[in-house]
Structure 1
């Protein structure tokens, strides 16, 4: 489970996570867990939201409601709340809240149950699936269970003075509760020089480095071109390298396997069919 969080502004956390999911070399669950409201469905998947293929009433809130009487998280309860992502059918979406007010309906207990379910999630065929989690901008409502249970926590930051300065207090707070080896940076819309500057300024390793690519970023953040992924994209190439490296780290790939093409994905691999 990889969880991404951001400081002030819009450093590109959601876009980065969407790029990782689109390029992930295996079935993956993309969980939109921003307590202020999710952006993945109305953004990247807005075209399919409008035509009814993707639903906002199926996701974090529906899972919290369905499991409200449960004493603990159960990964089997998640499958009915996951939807196939049309432009990347190896990705399952757990749609986010539609307003900040819904956060109270989930509550700490709901986030805790969801965390346990995400950490042990399996596909409809019974295979374990990786999970990419977006918790949005750090604040008092941040669901800490999703940070504490993650194998990797990434702080999204852009290579600008404003974003680096706003990232420092968030990074300090995260470092108080998260082990150093599980905490890193996702540097967004950057260059190699910009990434080096951010790493030096914040004193943390860069786990994901995403180049400036306005066209693809607009697809993943605002659903430009109907949300269809471009065939050629520096952003997606970087996302593919990062995704394979991260996946290989936790699945014991050899270097040769990491260089190999991603395996073909079956439609509805996560959900057992399109919802």
Structure 2
């Protein structure tokens, strides 16, 4: 009742409250100039192509078992190659980005293969969840006031350094299950935050004249892939634990 009363009071104090909020949101969106909106369309179109290329990489691994250390190395080399290629060679840079996405898809191919063996619906569920989260947080970054979330970049960078130290500690002293879960869920939280910060940073860079849609698409692609992989691992571990419990019940 109290919640209803406060809502009613807010509507009385502002009869057109809903319309006012809608106007504020549209006004924030109109802060993005037509040039920047066109740039964002190029970024997201390139991102979609990169995701398709990555899916092709997964498919190639399922056919010929191509994923492994060499594809991971190919992904890293492709990123450095892309960043060192001049901006005026955009077609070449797009091709390099597609190659990097292909290598990334092949690299996560073994994980996808395992997920298919346990429960094929895991991949679709993780992809839909990642796409929904990506769409919602990207929209939040676009509709918010300019530079509103950029201050989170420092916190996320600190969190990423903590995550790297956790990886180092796990590889040096041996990782426990608790450390693995902290790494998994904390990393998921970090990269979801990067979806918001990177989207708003791309918008600000575009306002300042940086219209490098290939590099911006690469940034969003790495965020998308990081969240997707962690969701697959979480769903896969939950499904495997569920299978173990069912087997124990059958034995007992």
Range of TM-score over shorter length: under 0.3
Structure number with higher helix proportion: 2
TM-score (structure 1 length as normaliser): 0.23
Normalising to structure 2: TM-score of the pair? 0.25
**Larger % of strand: which?**
1
Which of these two proteins has the greater Rg computed from alpha carbons?
Answer: 2
